[in-house]
């Protein structure tokens, strides 16, 4: 991008409405607010903003190199330390102040403003879904990069670093503070432990942006919640012939699964469930002493998720009682362990944080789209009532969470450009624009 940017203002904000499991229609909602239009008009006229955007485009090659380098550092769930230590060094080198690692493993620092505005948390997650021992080598073929985690979320981490360098290169001063992080625990049984710790320990955060995924045009503003349980049935076990009549842990598990499979859930808000894994037993000629299952429940509505959870827990308990009753016993016990709790939540599609990202995308010439509900680090702040978005880091991705994960870096600089502009609009520019993001009282 060269010269002066032009703000492309749309007259209407489009709201995504669910019409199927993953298809979304767009219908006109509320016009963009005059304050958002005015803010981005003021921002677009500033030489320092144009300098920052040009820097991000020129910095594309370095950003991709960092993405590759970070991706090669193993970062399986609960073992993000090595990547976190490296990210700490890179945040500091990018100009982020007072970078430290907290007790949870999050790496955070500050881009200080005037101290008179809101505090925005900008982050990407350090962890991947891939277990320890996975070959994290990155290979290039036909312009694409291949490697486990090359996009999710090495792209987000690299984009955040690029944004930090743009602040440093432009000398731009914000009104509000920008807290810049790499957080742990986004994937799988990480259970959002990183962002949960951040909001537990920092009560002054007014807004949140997570950089996750590649699609630069996508704005994720709704949160799909999930509850995950480990259910363990235990009994005395015994020989299949000589101890016949002893209740079986596997039979209890089977009773539960059969009733879980018959649960009815609403199509809208989308609500789902599955028994993902089962394990147990000793041998073909043994009455099982132990049987375990992992259960995943999800919903776009916290209320529906809690309804489903209540019915699930009743089934699990009743299955133990039924197996005991079948054999006139009390030996089967059930242990219920919550292993994942990602809260659901929603916020207005025409909220100021959504509008800021919308106009930012229009500003760099990208057609915005509102995505449906998803499960990201934004779940936690959305559930807490804090304005939050998950934005794409740019480029094109495929086969995420699979060994063949790939990333196409074509025009990927648009990702950090959009994040940068969205941040500036929300926290404000000293002497130029007031923050769009309200500061908590």
The average confidence (pLDDT) of the chain is 93
pLDDT at 147 over 90: yes
Residue 271: helix, strand or coil by DSSP?
strand
Q: What is the mean pLDDT of residues 217-223?
A: 96
pLDDT at 425 over 50: yes
pLDDT tens track for 192-208: 999 999 999 999 999 99
pLDDT tens track for 68-125: 999 999 999 999 999 999 999 999 999 999 999 999 999 999 999 998 999 999 999 9
Provide φ and ψ at 225, rounded to 5°: -90, 160
Q: Which two structure tokens, joined as six digits, stand for 41?
A: 């008009």
Is residue 355 within a helix (H) or strand (E), and if so which, with residue range? helix 352-363
Q: Give helix 81-93 / helix 60-71 axis angle, nearest 10°.
A: 160
Question: What whole-number percentage of the chain has pLDDT above 90?
Answer: 90
Q: Given this model, what pLDDT does residue 30 score?
A: 60
Q: Given this model, what pLDDT does residue 300 score?
A: 92
Provide φ and ψ at 226, rounded to 5°: -145, 145
Answering whether pTM is above 0.85, one says yes
Domain definitions of the chain by residue range: 14-223+345-427, 225-342
pLDDT tens track for 17-74: 333 333 333 433 567 888 999 999 999 999 999 999 999 999 999 999 999 999 999 9
Q: What is the mean pLDDT of residues 292-313?
A: 96
Residues 6+ apart with CB under 8 A from 328: none
State the pLDDT confidence band at 347, using cuts at 50, 70 and 90.
very high
CA 359 to chain centre: 22
| Tally of CB atoms within 10 A around 158 | 28
> What fold characterizes domain 14-223+345-427?
Aminopeptidase (3.40.630)
Q: Given this model, what pLDDT does residue 200 score?
A: 97
Q: Given this model, what pLDDT does residue 29 score?
A: 53
pLDDT at 335 over 70: yes
CA distance 357 to 18: 21
Q: What is the mean pLDDT of residues 218-238?
A: 97
Question: What whole-number percentage of the chain has pLDDT above 70?
Answer: 93
pLDDT at 2 over 70: no
Q: Given this model, what pLDDT does residue 440 score?
A: 84
Q: What is the mean pLDDT of residues 255-283?
A: 97
Closest CA to 97 of 85, 117, 111: 111
- Among 2-11, 128-137, 315-324, the minimum mean pLDDT is found in 2-11
pLDDT tens track for 157-178: 999 999 999 999 999 999 999 9
Second-level CATH architecture of 225-342: 2-Layer Sandwich (3.30)
pLDDT at 404 over 50: yes
Q: Given this model, what pLDDT does residue 17 score?
A: 35
CA distance 41 to 38: 5
Q: What is the mean pLDDT of residues 375-385?
A: 96
């Amino acid at each position: 991008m060269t010269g002066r940017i032009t703000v492309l203002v749309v007259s209407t904000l489009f709201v995504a409405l669910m019409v199927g499991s993953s298809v979304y229609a767009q219908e006109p909602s509320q016009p963009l607010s005059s304050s958002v239009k005015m803010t981005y008009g003021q921002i677009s006229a500033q030489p320092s903003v144009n300098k920052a955007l040009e820097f991000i485009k020129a910095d594309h090659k370095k950003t991709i190199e960092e993405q590759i380098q970070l991706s090669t550092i193993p970062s399986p769930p609960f073992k993000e330390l090595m990547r976190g230590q490296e990210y700490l060094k890179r945040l500091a080198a990018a100009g982020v102040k007072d970078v430290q690692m907290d007790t949870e493993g999050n790496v955070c620092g500050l881009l200080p403003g005037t101290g008179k505005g809101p505090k925005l948390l900008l982050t990407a997650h350090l962890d991947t879904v891939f277990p320890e021992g996975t070959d994290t080598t990155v290979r290039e073929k036909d312009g694409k990069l291949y490697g486990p985690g090359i996009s999710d979320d090495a792209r987000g981490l690299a984009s955040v670093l690029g944004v930090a360098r743009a602040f440093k290169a432009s000398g731009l001063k914000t009104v509000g503070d920008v807290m810049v992080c790499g957080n742990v625990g986004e994937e799988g049984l990480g259970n959002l432990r990183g962002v949960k710790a951040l909001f537990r320990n920092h009560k002054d955060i007014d807004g949140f942006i997570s950089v996750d995924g590649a699609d630069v045009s996508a704005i994720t503003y709704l949160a799909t919640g999930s509850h995950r349980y480990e259910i363990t049935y235990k009994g005395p076990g015994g020989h299949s012939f000589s101890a016949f009549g002893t209740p079986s842990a596997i039979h209890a598990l089977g009773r539960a699964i059969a009733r879980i499979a018959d649960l009815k859930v609403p199509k809208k808000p989308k609500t789902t469930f599955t028994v993902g894994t089962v394990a147990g037993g000793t041998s073909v000629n043994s009455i099982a002493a132990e049987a375990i299952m992992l259960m995943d429940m999800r919903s776009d509505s916290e209320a529906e998720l809690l309804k489903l959870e209540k019915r699930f827990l009743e089934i699990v308990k009743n299955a133990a009682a039924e197996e005991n009753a079948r054999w006139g016993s009390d030996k089967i016990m059930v242990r219920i362990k919550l292993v994942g709790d990602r809260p659901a939540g929603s916020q207005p599609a025409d909220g100021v944080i959504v509008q800021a990202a919308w106009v930012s995308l229009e500003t760099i010439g990208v057609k915005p789209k509102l995505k449906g509900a998803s499960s990201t680090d934004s779940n936690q702040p959305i559930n807490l009532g804090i304005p939050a978005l998950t934005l794409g880091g740019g480029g094109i991705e495929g086969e995420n969470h699979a060994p063949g994960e790939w990333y196409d870096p074509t025009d990927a600089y648009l990702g950090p450009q959009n994040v940068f502009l969205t941040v500036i609009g929300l926290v404000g520019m000293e002497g130029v624009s007031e923050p769009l993001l309200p500061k908590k009282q």
